Amino acid sequence: MSLETSISDKSFTNCLMNASGAKCMTLEELTNLKNAPCGTWITKSCTINPREGNPSPRYVDLALGSINSMGLPNLGFDFYLNYVLEEHLDGNDDLFFSVAGLTLEENVEMLHKIQNSDFSGCVELNLSCPNIPGKPQTGYDFERTHEVLTQVFSFYKKPLGVKLPPYFDMVHFEMMAEILNQFPIKFVTCINSIGNALFIDDEAVVIKPKGGFGGIGGAYVKPTALANVRMFYKLLRKDIAIIGCGGVENGRDVFEHILCGASMVQVGTQLMKDDISVFSRLLNELEEIMKLKNYHSINDFKGKLIEL
């Protein structure tokens, strides 16, 4: 049996990786991911300058998932560029570099530096980055998304994909897919957390920033994540791979993401809950399901969700 999968011109020994933001900010966390049995890993979304992020509590583990308003804490672009360049010197370009500039200009500046570096892995551009004040995040501003991708692909020639927020309206799926299909995008990652949710414990919010509002991950978001994976799998060009993210707690959840069309599956909330041992458990559970169904490879069931 093989769990091998591929994205762009890169192949991975298995379909699992962390979701950006989960245990991937510091060198120690990134080294743990490198040594874990995941197919690859991704760095924390970065900005040019290091950021402390929001005041704590800013991440809370919930029975059915998590809520966060981290505020993009990261060690700054130079740290992550140096990190991926050291991996490159080790002969490894099969990792993902997440970029989340606070403006289009900041994204362009970081991508120019990556373009001019020896890094030849994949960039995941986080479209949940703030946009123009008073406008929705980039991923919810379709015109702005077109403008961002036009600027980016005017000079960026290495493998690049986008991390999308969840969509809930069929016309929004179609509008975003129509835009993405115009660009040489290699993958889309569906989904980022469901934004601006509110969790209450007794009579109080549970995180400090933004009056308690934060992004939801975990079991709460799985049906939305699967719908986004499925719809983009159907609407996007066949050479654009889908990376599934959202609500992966066990091997069955990984299996469902792949059935919907995911080539790779990210683990966020459950990585925070279980730490790095989550990957070996998920791989064992996925292999068990594949054995029962007599599937020998990811391609035996990828995208093959049965519709009635």
226 interacts with ligand YRO by CB under 6 A: no
Give the orientation angle of helix 27-35 with respect to helix 77-89, to 10 degrees.
Answer: 30
Pick one of 7, 15, 24, 100: the residue that binds ligand YRO (CB under 6 A). Answer: 100
Instruction: Determine how many CB atoms are found less than 10 A away from the CB of residue 168.
Output: 11
8 vs 193, beta carbon nearer ligand YRO: 193
4 vs 141, beta carbon nearer ligand YRO: 141
Pick one of 21, 161, 246, 247: the residue that binds ligand YRO (CB under 6 A). Answer: 21
What region does 210 belong to: left with phi over 0, alpha with psi -120 to 50, or beta? Answer: left
Pick one of 5, 45, 138, 266: the residue that binds ligand YRO (CB under 6 A). Answer: 45
215 interacts with ligand YRO by CB under 6 A: yes
Task: Let me know: does 120 contact 85? Beta carbons within 8 Å.
Answer: no
Q: How far is the CB of 193 from ligand YRO (least distance, A)?
A: 4
Pick one of 24, 60, 72, 95: the residue that binds ligand YRO (CB under 6 A). Answer: 72
What region does 122 belong to: left with phi over 0, alpha with psi -120 to 50, or beta? Answer: beta
Closest C-alpha to 237, from 189, 192, 186, 190? 186
193 interacts with ligand YRO by CB under 6 A: yes
Q: What is the Cα–Cα distance from 139 to 127, expressed in whole angstroms? A: 5
Pick one of 8, 126, 138, 263: the residue that binds ligand YRO (CB under 6 A). Answer: 126
- 279, 285, 286, 289 alpha-carbon torsion, rounded to 10°: 180
- Catalytic status, residue 15: no
Q: How far is the CB of 293 from ligand YRO (least distance, A)?
A: 33
Q: What is the Cα–Cα distance from 129 to 99, expressed in whole angstroms? A: 9
71 interacts with ligand YRO by CB under 6 A: yes
**What b/e string do you get for 20-32 counting C-beta neighbours within 10 Å, with b at 16 or more?**
bbbbbbeeebbeb
72 vs 123, beta carbon nearer ligand YRO: 72
Q: Count the residues of the shown chain that bind ligand YRO, applying the rule CB under 6 A.
A: 15
Task: Let me know: does 140 contact 115? Beta carbons within 8 Å.
Answer: no
Closest C-alpha to 43, from 69, 79, 16? 79
131 interacts with ligand YRO by CB under 6 A: no
Pick one of 22, 30, 70, 265: the residue that binds ligand YRO (CB under 6 A). Answer: 70
50 interacts with ligand YRO by CB under 6 A: no
SS3 243: strand
Window 142-171: residues binding ligand YRO (CB under 6 A):
none
129 interacts with ligand YRO by CB under 6 A: yes
Catalytic residue among 38, 129, 190, 260: 129
Q: Which of these segments, 62-70, 174-182, 253-261, 283-291, binds ligand YRO (CB under 6 A)? A: 62-70
Q: What is the Cα–Cα distance from 37 to 16, expressed in whole angstroms? A: 8
Catalytically annotated residues: 129
The residues of the shown chain that bind ligand YRO, judged by CB under 6 A, are 21, 45, 68-72, 100, 126, 128-130, 192-193, 215
